Amino acid sequence: MIDPYKIRKDFPMYVNKTKMQNHDLVFLDNASTTFKPYSVIKAVDQYLSFETSNSHRGDYDLCYHTDLKIEEARKTIGNFINADANEIVFTSGASMSLNMIAYGYGAKFLTKDDEILLTEAEHASNILPWFKVASITGAKIKYIPLNEEGRLTLENVEKSISSKTKIISIAQVTNVLGFTVDIKGICKIAHKNNIIVVCDGAQSVPHMKIDVKDLDVDFLAFSGHKMCGPTGIGCIYGKYDLLDKMDPLLSGGGMNAKFEMCGDVKYLNPPAKFEAGTLNIEGIYGLKAAVEYINNIGIENIHEYEQELRTYAISKFKQIPNILIYNEHADSGIITFNIKGIFAQDLATYLNSKGIALRSGQHCAKILVSFLKEVATCRASLYFYTTKEDIDYLVEVLKNGGDFLDAYFA
Coil, helix or strand for 47? Answer: helix
Q: What is the number of other CB atoms lying within 10 angstroms of the CB of residue 35?
A: 18
What is the layout of strands, in order, in the sheet containing 196-200?
Answer: 88-91, 234-238, 219-223, 196-200, 165-171, 115-119, 140-144
**β-strand pairing of 165-171 with 115-119:** parallel
Single-letter residue type at 337: F
Separation CA 268–CA 270 (nearest Å) = 7
Single-letter residue type at 66: T
What is the layout of strands, in order, in the sheet containing 334-339?
Answer: 323-325, 334-339, 377-381, 359-361
Closest CA to 158 of 139, 170, 145, 171: 145
Separation CA 287–CA 278 (nearest Å) = 16
Separation CA 161–CA 158 (nearest Å) = 6
Contacts of 332 (CB under 8 A, 6+ apart): 173, 178, 179, 180, 203, 207, 306, 310
The residue annotated as part of the active site, out of 199, 228, 235, 364, is 364
Separation CA 81–CA 96 (nearest Å) = 19
Separation CA 60–CA 52 (nearest Å) = 12
Is 364 considered catalytic here?
yes
Strands (E), 293-396: 323-325, 334-339, 356-357, 359-361, 377-381
Cis peptide bond prior to 271, omega within 30° of 0:
yes
Catalytic annotation, residues = 364
